[in-house]
Amino acid sequence: MPDAAQPGLTLPATVARRRRGLRGSQLRHRVAVIFCQAALLAALLAAWEYATANKALNAFLFGSPSEIWGFLVKMWSDGSLMKDSGVTGLETLLGFLLGNVIGTVLGLALWYSRFVSRVVQPFIVALGSIPIVALAPIVIIWFGTGLASKVAMSTLSVIVVALVIAYKGATGVDDDQINLMRTLGASKWQIFRKLVIPSSLGDIFAGLKLTVGFALIGAIIGEFMSSSEGLGHAIFKAGSLYIIPKVFAALVATIALALFLSFLVGKLERFLMPWRKPD
């Protein structure tokens, strides 16, 4: 909420309304979009349920929405749903934070020296092209089978993307803007702090939204390789035992986790960049 972040800010009514982006027609449009999304999901689930009930789809291989729901309820009541989600959520969050902090700091710092950025460019490209799955065995050997290896996997999935995006944001600053800062007498560090970092925030947040998914993938891969808990572990175990509905139930929990983390990033973005109009 841009307005709430600025107490005492009095905007003309038209501006305030435009900022909140909720004029009548827009509101109706948004409701229509949500309604169609819900309808699409319901139709898909109904077709799936119908097909498995009539043996058009093999319920053993494909599960059915009602069985998946049953497993979700069971996992909820025995506490494993929250526990596994919590474990994977923690791994993802730590990897997401670590990867983004390291990647963003390095990416922004590369703005400082064109020479250093030229030197390291091929190395970054090389690191970025390594499939993270291929690193999993080494990571398990180095970091063990506990939390650390999952966080490491998650961090590795995030770091290069965050670095490249932050660097792109930092080097995308308008030259005229930099010249203006120079004529105001700003040092390179002041230009970096007062212009480059805030200018890059938009790109950095785009990167955060993107890397939420990557962090989760890293954590799940880590759990696949070796683990005793977490959603990835639940999926792997249920899959090995051919309990397909349980695989889907854990997948639903994974998707919910991803949506929840994306939601948090969106909140943070609106809090840190109040000058931005919401999309």
Partner 1 sequence: MSAVPAKSPVAEALPPPLVVSGVGKSYGEDEGEPNEVIGDISFSLASGEIVSLVGPSGCGKTTLLNLLSGLTPPTRGSVLWHGRPLRGVPKGVGYMLQKDLLLPWRTTLRNVTLGLELTALSQGEREKKAHSILNKVGLGSFHDYYPSALSGGMRQRAALARTLVTEPEVILLDEPFAALDFQTKLILESDMAKLVRSEGRSVLMITHDVEEAVSLSDRVIVLTHRPSRIKAIHEIHLDADRGDMMAVRDSPHFTGYVREIWSQLDVRMGNR
Q: List residues near partner 1 by CB under 8 A.
A: 2, 6, 8-11, 15, 19, 174, 176-177, 179-180, 182-186, 190, 194-195, 198-199, 201, 273, 275-277
CA distance 52 to 129: 41
Least distance from partner 1 to the Cβ atom of residue 111, Å: 17
CA distance 159 to 182: 32
CA distance 91 to 215: 8
Least distance from partner 1 to the Cβ atom of residue 198, Å: 5
Q: Residue 20, SS3? A: helix
Residue closer to partner 1 by CB (options 83, 276) is 276
Residue closer to partner 1 by CB (options 122, 185) is 185
Least distance from partner 1 to the Cβ atom of residue 199, Å: 8
CA distance 201 to 275: 12
Residue closer to partner 1 by CB (options 120, 273) is 273
Residue closer to partner 1 by CB (options 20, 83) is 20
CA distance 156 to 258: 18
Name 224's Cβ contacts closer than 8 Å, sequence gap at least 6.
136, 232, 233, 235, 236
Least distance from partner 1 to the Cβ atom of residue 272, Å: 9
Residue closer to partner 1 by CB (options 84, 203) is 203
Least distance from partner 1 to the Cβ atom of residue 8, Å: 7
- The DSSP line for 25-60 is HHHHHHHHHHHHHHHHHHHHHHHHHHHHHTTSS-HH
